[in-house]
Amino acid sequence: MPASFSHDHNSLNCLLIKRKIDRISRFIEPLTAAQIDIIRGYTESRSSIAMRCFKNHECRQNAIAAFLRTQPEKTEITVFISRIILLAQDVVDPDPRAISTARRGGAKPCTMAY
């Protein structure tokens, strides 16, 4: 995502709606207003999932940046990258209850375990 991208929920929704409309319009052109409304409704109904994915992505990026600031050895980097690719949840939030807490609205900040 570009650095200028706003992290608020509405901006993410607008971006996702625009991308979906652009992708679908490549195959079905021109889209009617009713089709665009269907795309908008579908995207907005799934926006909490998209926002959670975006936040998870941001947490992984922060974990990688924090890890690299420790100036690790080459072997440590290899192990860390393998862990973050295969077991990202163990790196950014090793507490399995955090997901349940976040879903209930009591989200806790990203933690990093390495």
Taking a C-beta distance cutoff of 8 angstroms, is the pair 108, 98 a contact?
yes
pLDDT for 102 equals 63
Encode burial over 49-84: b for 16+ CB neighbours within 10 A, e otherwise. ebbeebbbeebbeebbeebeeeeeeeeeeeebeebb
- Residue-level pLDDT at 5: 41
User: How much is the pLDDT for 83?
Assistant: 86
**Is residue 3 classed as helix, strand or coil in its secondary structure?**
coil
Q: What is the per-residue pLDDT for 12?
A: 72
Q: For residue 1, name the pLDDT band (cuts at 50, 70, 90).
A: very low
Q: Residue ranges per domain, the chain?
A: 7-45, 58-114
CA angle 9, 89, 100 (to 5 degrees): 65
Q: What is the pLDDT of residue 2?
A: 39
d(C-alpha 2, C-alpha 15), whole Å = 12
Q: What is the pLDDT of residue 98?
A: 60
pLDDT digits (tens, 9 = 90+) for 11-65: 777 888 888 888 888 888 788 899 989 888 887 777 677 677 777 888 888 888 9
**pLDDT over threshold 60, residue 8:** no
